[in-house]
């Protein structure tokens, strides 16, 4: 998994996330249920790893079928917490195809995003996913996709004035 664009810290974290063994997607009924159990196990482990490292940065839940996922993610920059809703649907061809994670409220604010607020993961993440499918799961997509994207884009968006912290917004409103 050596990749110059992935930090040693991230690689160390990802290596602790269990790899998945069930090669099944949403159309595979009974096998999908087994895959979902593995997904939840990996997600729980990833959350534990993050909490132990004092790096808790997301919440996530799914619909009953495990095909639609929604959550909140946050990134701390200049001692301020920037929080966003995120979402994704499981592709029909999952796990061969990675989920496309979207942060709709940031749509149009950065070139590293597609229509619908889907974050750009093509250059660094998609080849890594393709190489490791079906062993990678949702936890891996968050660790290797969403987390690095937030780390790169949130500071850029803040520094460009494209996003403003909610407390700063309230202060601006009081002054006007």
Between helix 8-16 and helix 29-52 the angle, nearest 10°, is 130
Q: Active site residue: 11, 80, 120, 164, which one?
A: 120
Q: DSSP E strands: which ranges in the chain? A: 58-62, 68-77, 80-89, 113-114, 118-119
Q: Is residue 73 annotated as a catalytic residue, yes or no?
A: no
Contact yes or no for 143/14 (Cβ under 8 A): yes
For residue 34, the surrounding DSSP H or E stretch is helix 29-52
Q: Strands 58-62, 68-77: parallel, antiparallel or unpaired by DSSP?
A: antiparallel
For residue 88, the surrounding DSSP H or E stretch is strand 80-89
For residue 119, the tally of other CB atoms under 10 A from its CB is 23
Closest CA to 87 of 121, 110, 120, 61: 61
Active site residues: 120
């Amino acid at each position: 998994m050596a990749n110059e664009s992935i930090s040693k810290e991230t690689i160390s974290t990802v290596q602790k996330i269990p790899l998945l063994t069930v090669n099944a997607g949403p159309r595979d009924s009974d096998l999908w249920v087994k895959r979902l159990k593995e997904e939840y196990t990996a997600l729980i482990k990833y959350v534990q790893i993050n909490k132990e490292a004092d790096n808790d940065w997301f919440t996530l839940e799914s619909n009953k079928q495990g095909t639609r996922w929604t959550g909140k993610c946050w990134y701390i920059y200049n001692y301020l917490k920037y929080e966003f809703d995120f979402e994704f649907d499981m592709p029909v061809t999952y796990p061969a195809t990675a989920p496309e994670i979207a942060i709709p409220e940031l749509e149009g604010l950065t070139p590293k995003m597609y229509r619908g607020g889907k974050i750009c993961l093509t250059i660094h993440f998609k080849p890594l996913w393709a190489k490791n499918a079906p062993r990678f799961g949702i936890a891996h997509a968050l660790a290797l996709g969403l987390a690095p994207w937030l780390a790169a884009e949130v500071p850029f968006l803040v520094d460009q004035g494209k996003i403003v912290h909610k407390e700063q917004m309230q202060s601006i409103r009081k002054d006007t």
